[in-house]
Amino acid sequence: MKRTILLLLGPLLAMVLYLVLRHLGHMQSAMAAVVLWMAVWWISEAVPLAITSLLPLILFPVLGIDSMAGAAANYGKEIIYLFLGGFLLALGIERSGLHRRIALHIVARVGGTGPRLIGGMLIACALLSMWMNSTSCVLVMLPIALSLLDDEEAPPEQRKLTVPLLLAVAYGATIGGMATPVGTPPNLIFLEIWRTRWPNEPAIGFGQWMGFGVPFMVIFLGIAWVFLTRVFFRVPTQRLVETTRVRERLRASGNMSVDEILSGSIFALTAILWITGDGLRFSEGMELRGWRDALDLKSVTDGAIAIASAILLFLIPSFTRKEKGATLLNWETAEKQVPWGILLLFGGGFAIASGIERSGLASTMVQSLAQFGDQPPVILVAAVSTMVCLISELGSNTATASLSLPILAESAIAWGISPQTLLIPATLAATLGFALPVASPMQAIVFGTGRIRVRDMVRVGIWMDLIGVLLLVLFFGLF
């Protein structure tokens, strides 16, 4: 009965919203209705998330928002293949056993209590995410977190760590990506808009960005740690893993196997290519040229690198496994362990972002802030950050930034305020989105483990979003 009610609630609420917003025109009111319908089903899980993600393929053509071909194009975006390739890389590390060795090293250094394990995972993910793709960071760290949770020698209390530890992986990668210009795509989108719209203004380099990005990250990580260990979850404070036993297990595991070295090397090479692909601008006179420009290979994107590296795993022979013709990764393992439904989840999020843009709803949402033009910066930053964060919850953060930042750039000029005051918090707000699996690849990947319920993610994520917006107001609206 409950499931039936939730099934009907999605389309019924969508019809009500359509009628309420009918004055905006058919396209915009219809798009808003689709968003509400999908949000209800996603949050309630009345329908499998992957199936809900397919609704745009039907509703967009029926409602005249987009053609079937246009809607379907969103399910083949490059980031989907970046996710697929990155996940296969993580499977290669997991199959070789390297992830367990890394996990043991982390535990040996941070300690074995619940709060220390979560804190160590937050910090490790954040530091990696500062310099590499946040999605790839999660794909590498997730097997390590799972190996900690699945340790056969751990006491039963360790099961209480499941949700907070997995959320720590997603939260650490998301927050760490805000600290540097290369940490997450929205940051790069802002820098490109800044360079093209205001070419005569001083360039924003690593030093300037990290001046506010690192303090923001440190404070946000601290709050996330408190939420995960003190507020929303009862994390065991006793020692769950003895560090002496961990060191003994490290010694017992011996030297790294050839498979571990090969899978780790492939990932390390992939990470280096991801990091060095684009130029790094530290200041006006100091810039490192990326290999894409140097070799004129601009079409070789991060997604292409991920797929190429994943293919290598299927080609390089395994020196540890005894089966004839064994390779570092086989298709049977990939077919069983890759969460294919998450690929549809990504596509549904991209379809929503595309539909919001095509229907004109995004412009209406942002332009509705025009009435606040005579308000103090703190009000503008709060309003813009909240709006962008809400949009980001329902679609790709990259698409959200690409959609909202150009409009906000014009709004800043119209309002007569410093563009940085408005655009930087909007950029960081696009990376927020902790409440729904579809909000970001980081959220979707940890949800794909099947060990986190949507309601748990929403319960903590809403407060993370609110705290994130509040920090943006404090950093950019008051100072």
First to last CA, the chain: 52
Tell me: pLDDT of 162 over 90: no
Half-sphere exposure of 71 (CA within 13 A, CB side): 23
- Confidence class for position 231, pLDDT limits 50, 70, 90: very high
Residue 395 resides in a domain: no
Which pLDDT belongs to residue 386?
A: 93
Total domains, the chain: 1
Residue 230 resides in a domain: yes
Which pLDDT belongs to residue 353?
A: 78
Quick: pLDDT tens for 327-341: 999 999 888 888 788
Residue 391: CB atoms within 10 Å: 27
Tell me: pLDDT of 283 over 60: no
- Confidence class for position 59, pLDDT limits 50, 70, 90: very high
Please state, for a pLDDT cut of 70, what percent of the chain lies above it.
91
CA distances to 54, 109, 351 from 59, rounded to whole Å, are 9, 52, 11
Closest C-alpha to 183, from 103, 126, 235:
126
Residue 83 resides in a domain: yes
pTM metric for this prediction: 0.71
Q: Average model confidence (pLDDT) for the chain? A: 84
Quick check: 147 and 98 in contact, CB under 8 A?
A: no
Phi and psi angles of residue 360, each rounded to the nearest 5 degrees, phi first:
90, 0
Tell me: pLDDT of 114 over 80: yes
Residue 347 resides in a domain: no
Tell me: pLDDT of 307 over 90: yes
Quick: pLDDT tens for 85-94: 888 888 888 8
Which pLDDT belongs to residue 372?
A: 63
Tell me: pLDDT of 65 over 90: yes
Lowest-pLDDT choice from 62-66, 194-198, 428-432, 441-445: 194-198
CA gap 239, 158 in Å, rounded: 10
Which pLDDT belongs to residue 240?
A: 66
**Average pLDDT of span 119-142:** 82
Residue 265 resides in a domain: yes
Which pLDDT belongs to residue 398?
A: 74
Which pLDDT belongs to residue 152?
A: 64
Q: Where are the alpha helices (DSSP H) in 360-418?
A: 361-367, 377-393, 397-415
Which pLDDT belongs to residue 122?
A: 92
**Average pLDDT of span 34-53:** 85
Which pLDDT belongs to residue 235?
A: 83
Q: Where are the alpha helices (DSSP H) in 199-320?
A: 206-226, 243-252, 258-276, 291-295, 302-315
Tell me: pLDDT of 285 over 70: no
Residue 126 resides in a domain: yes
Instruction: Report CA Rg, the chain.
Output: 23
Which pLDDT belongs to residue 284?
A: 57
Quick check: 329 and 314 in contact, CB under 8 A?
A: yes
Instruction: Give the domain extent around 191.
Output: 78-337
Tell me: pLDDT of 50 over 90: no
Task: State whether residue 288 is helix, strand or coil.
Answer: strand
CA distances to 2, 173, 213 from 281, rounded to whole Å, are 55, 22, 16
- Confidence class for position 280, pLDDT limits 50, 70, 90: low
Residue 141 resides in a domain: yes
CA gap 415, 372 in Å, rounded: 9
Strands 287-288 and 280-281: antiparallel
Quick: pLDDT tens for 172-209: 999 999 998 877 888 878 887 887 778 887 767 667 78
Residue 424 resides in a domain: no
The helix or strand, by DSSP H or E, that contains position 339, with its residue range, turns out to be none
